[in-house]
């Protein structure tokens, strides 16, 4: 089944989500964003009133039992994450969720709980799946593997220009610092750290337009 998977991994704000979504669109296949699954677990835990600055497997274990996570095809044809029957949408992209999600994603029981769900998506046929460990852990046998990166400054600029994740008053410097902290957490955790698979194609997107990155990827796939 893994031969149907196009894995796109990379650090925060490297442009992966935009690129992965557009590559999937061009190919007319589903796009699954696994970061949203970690964000949805984090949102639910926050709603339960848990103090996530002190994160542990014991604290999250009962939370996992309360969660039903799905990716549902919407009228637009895109797959959207559903958390206990609700489309959380922008609620999983707040600065608060972003500040805790790396701690939640570092917990082995959370990752184990999500692995099976992520592998199940192979049933959809050809898919683009995006995350941190798709090419290394979830689908090591993926047909195509890409690892996207960009300089911290470039990533901070993109984040600032783009979404509601940047807190009020944020600067390129403050965001670059927050991004570097998350990179460190994601790449030094014991379970499934952020890491380029040996056989993944590395693309440094600094100075490249979205269109150039997409064309570069599609050249390998076609």
Summarize as ranges the residues that interact with ligand DC (CB under 6 A): 12, 34-35, 38-39, 101-102, 105, 131-133, 182, 186
CA distances, 155 to each of 145, 181, 206 (Å): 21, 13, 8
CB of 158 to ligand DC, least distance (A): 13
CB of 121 to ligand DC, least distance (A): 12
CB of 222 to ligand DC, least distance (A): 26
Nearer to ligand DC, 158 or 182 (CB): 182
Burial of 202 (0-12, 13-18, 19+ CB in 10 A): exposed
Nearer to ligand DC, 151 or 219 (CB): 151
Please, what sign has the CA dihedral across residues 21, 26, 27, 28? Answer: positive
Tokens found for residue 78: 């895109």
Nearer to ligand DC, 6 or 101 (CB): 101
Nearer to ligand DC, 35 or 152 (CB): 35
- Strands 69-73 and 201-204, by their bridges, are unpaired
Nearer to ligand DC, 38 or 121 (CB): 38
Residue 138 has φ and ψ, to the nearest 5°, of -70, -55
Question: What is the end-to-end Cα distance of the chain in Å, rounded?
Answer: 19
Tokens found for residue 70: 């799905």
CB of 34 to ligand DC, least distance (A): 4
The number of C-alpha atoms within 13 Å of 99 and in the hemisphere containing its C-beta is 11
Q: Which residues are within 8 A (CB) of 94 and not within 5 positions of it... i.e. 6 or more apart?
A: 164, 165
The number of C-alpha atoms within 13 Å of 124 and in the hemisphere containing its C-beta is 22
CB of 211 to ligand DC, least distance (A): 22
CB of 40 to ligand DC, least distance (A): 10
Nearer to ligand DC, 151 or 191 (CB): 191
């Amino acid at each position: 089944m893994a031969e149907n998977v196009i894995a796109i991994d990379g650090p925060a704000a490297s442009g992966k989500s935009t690129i992965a979504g557009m590559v999937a669109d061009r190919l007319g296949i589903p796009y699954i964003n696994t970061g949203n699954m970690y964000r949805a677990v984090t949102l639910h835990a926050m709603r339960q009133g848990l103090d996530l600055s002190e994160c542990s497997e014991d604290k999250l274990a009962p939370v996992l039992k309360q969660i039903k996570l799905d990716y549902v095809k919407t009228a637009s044809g895109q797959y959207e994450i559903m958390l206990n029957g609700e489309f959380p949408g922008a609620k999983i992209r707040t600065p608060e969720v972003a500040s805790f999600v790396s701690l939640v994603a570092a917990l082995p029981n959370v990752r184990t709980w999500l692995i099976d769900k992520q592998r199940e998506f192979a049933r959809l046929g050809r898919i683009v799946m995006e995350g941190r460990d798709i090419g290394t852990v979830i689908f090591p046998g993926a047909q195509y593997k890409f690892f996207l990166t960009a300089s911290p400054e470039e990533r901070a600029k993109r984040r600032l220009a783009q979404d509601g994740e940047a807190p009020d008053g944020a600067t390129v410097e403050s965001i670059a610092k927050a991004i570097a902290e998350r990179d460190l957490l994601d790449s030094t955790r014991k379970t499934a750290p952020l890491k380029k698979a040996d056989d993944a194609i590395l693309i440094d997107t600094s100075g490249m337009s979205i269109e150039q990155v997409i064309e570069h990827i599609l050249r390998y796939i076609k």
